[in-house]
């Protein structure tokens, strides 16, 4: 599920395993569920599994033809049952279509952009976003008020995030909304914390995400690591808690941003909980390292659908974009479309 698949063998093996899990977890309640929306409050290891990818029936074993649960049901997640009620009591509606897009930060001093070169300057680019189980403490967490060394992390530039942000901005403006795009050195921690971002309907952050399994408070997202007068460029979970958000949707188009330390009864603690605490009723996160190109395609289609009508919901828009990606065949394997899940409010 979390590996880039090739050939028919992986599809058949995945279908068997996924169907077995479906029969254990969902099928006992299938008659009551029907084709209604599913609100998932998972426990234990199920926090790391996208229910949308469950295969509900046996049949053809090529990826586009599998009977994924997403084809029949809209799925949304919550850290706990009580969180949804609290969200609805405290959430404040934001009118309009204003969007903030943060993408393509500068990760090291060797990047020509760190010296003022243009955005098109050549630099090696990564195909996937993020590092699996990285030690964010030793590599990024510089003392407060200092700048993290540019050589501390060997993070490749994510050119796809720039294209992603520009395409989404174009869609936003075409629909009558306003899009503010922070790229390069402007995609920095200080600007995020100092700016008034309550006015945006959507905050979209496309960059590397780091997971620290041993010290979850140091899980976070990587913004520009050079040229910072304050902060180190790495926005940790504990720093996100202190943000003042009013955006109905925060989308983290990064690596493994949904993971964190498991706490029974309250789901998984991580950036998801932090952004919700900071004021975002709905948070989109990824469950594993995501492919850069397919993610850009998925996100662009997601926003195209979300902006198409005033009352379009994030969950319905994401489901439609995922189904379209499956039908497109090129990225039909769950590795490409399933890692992104929406947590919190679904309206």
Residue 86's contacts (CB-CB under 8 Å, 6 or more residues apart) are none
**Average pLDDT rounded to a whole number, residues 286-299:** 83
**Structural element, H or E, at residue 291:** strand 290-291
**Average pLDDT rounded to a whole number, residues 335-342:** 93
Classify the C-alpha dihedral 227-233-239-243 as positive or negative: positive
**Is-contact 343 259, C-beta < 8 A?**
no
**Is-contact 222 119, C-beta < 8 A?**
no
Phi first, then psi: what are they for 190, rounded to 5°?
-60, -40
C-alpha distances in Å from residue 95, one per residue of 18, 200, 249, 331, 334: 40, 9, 12, 34, 34
**Average pLDDT rounded to a whole number, residues 87-116:** 83
| Ramachandran sector of residue 156 (left: φ over 0; alpha: ψ -120 to 50; beta: rest) | beta
* DSSP letter for each residue of 40-56: E---GGGGGS-GGG-B-
Instruction: Name the pTM for this structure.
Output: 0.84
Between 83 and 114, the higher pLDDT residue? 114
Which tokens in the block code for residue 347? 């309206």
Has residue 103 got a pLDDT over 70?
yes
Closest residue by Cα to residue 185 from 139, 128, 116: 116
Determine which of 108-112, 176-180, 202-206, 338-342 has the lowest per-residue pLDDT on average.
108-112
pLDDT attached to residue 191: 94
Average pLDDT, the chain: 82
Determine which of 62-76, 214-228, 256-270, 310-324 has the lowest per-residue pLDDT on average.
256-270
- Residue located via tokens 């609805």: 88
**Average pLDDT rounded to a whole number, residues 302-331:** 93
d(Cα 196, Cα 243) in Å, to the nearest integer? 10
pLDDT per position as a tens digit, 109-162: 888 898 876 665 555 555 665 543 333 333 344 434 333 433 455 788 888 889
C-alpha distances in Å from residue 288, one per residue of 1, 22, 101, 161, 198: 9, 20, 21, 17, 29
Q: For the chain, which domains are there? A: 99-310 (3.40.50)
Q: Report the percentage of the chain scoring pLDDT > 90.
A: 46
Closest residue by Cα to residue 290 from 173, 145, 188, 158: 158
**Structural element, H or E, at residue 260:** strand 260-262
Determine which of 83-92, 116-125, 237-246, 336-345 has the lowest per-residue pLDDT on average.
116-125
Q: Report the percentage of the chain scoring pLDDT > 70.
A: 81
Query: Which residues, listed in sequence order, are joined to residue 105 by a DSSP beta bridge?
Result: 184
């Amino acid at each position: 599920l979390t590996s880039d698949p090739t050939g028919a063998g992986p599809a058949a093996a995945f279908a068997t395993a996924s169907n077995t899990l479906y029969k254990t977890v969902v099928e006992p309640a299938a008659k009551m569920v029907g084709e209604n929306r599913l609100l998932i409050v998972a426990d234990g290891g199920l926090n790391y599994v996208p229910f949308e990818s469950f295969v509900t029936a046996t049949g053809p074993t090529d990826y586009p033809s599998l009977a994924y649960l997403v084809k029949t049901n809209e799925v949304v997640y919550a850290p706990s049952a009580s969180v949804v009620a609290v969200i609805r009591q405290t959430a404040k509606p934001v009118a309009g279509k204003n969007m903030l897009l943060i993408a393509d930060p500068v990760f090291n001093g060797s990047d020509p952009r760190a010296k003022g070169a243009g955005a098109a300057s050549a630099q090696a680019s990564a195909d996937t976003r993020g590092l699996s189980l990285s030690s964010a403490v030793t590599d990024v967490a510089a003392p407060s008020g200092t700048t993290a060394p540019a050589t501390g992390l060997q993070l490749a530039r994510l050119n796809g995030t720039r294209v992603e942000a520009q395409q989404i901005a174009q869609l936003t403006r075409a629909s009558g909304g306003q899009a503010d795009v922070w790229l390069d050195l402007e995609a920095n921690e200080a600007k995020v914390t100092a700016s008034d971002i309550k006015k945006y309907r959507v905050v979209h952050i496309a960059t590397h995400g780091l997971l620290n399994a041993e010290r979850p408070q140091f899980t976070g997202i990587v913004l520009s690591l050079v040229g910072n007068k304050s902060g180190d460029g790495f926005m940790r979970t504990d720093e996100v808690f202190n943000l003042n958000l009013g955006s109905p949707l925060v989308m983290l188009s990064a690596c493994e941003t949904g993971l964190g330390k498991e706490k029974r009864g309250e789901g998984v603690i991580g950036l998801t909980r932090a952004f919700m605490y900071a004021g975002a009723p709905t948070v989109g996160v990824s469950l594993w390292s995501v492919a850069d190109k397919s993610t850009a395609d998925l996100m662009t289609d997601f926003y195209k659908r979300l902006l198409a009508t005033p009352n379009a919901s994030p969950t319905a828009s994401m489901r439609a974009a995922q189904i379209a990606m499956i039908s497109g065949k090129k990225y039909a394997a769950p590795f490409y479309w399933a890692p992104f899940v929406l947590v919190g409010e679904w309206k």
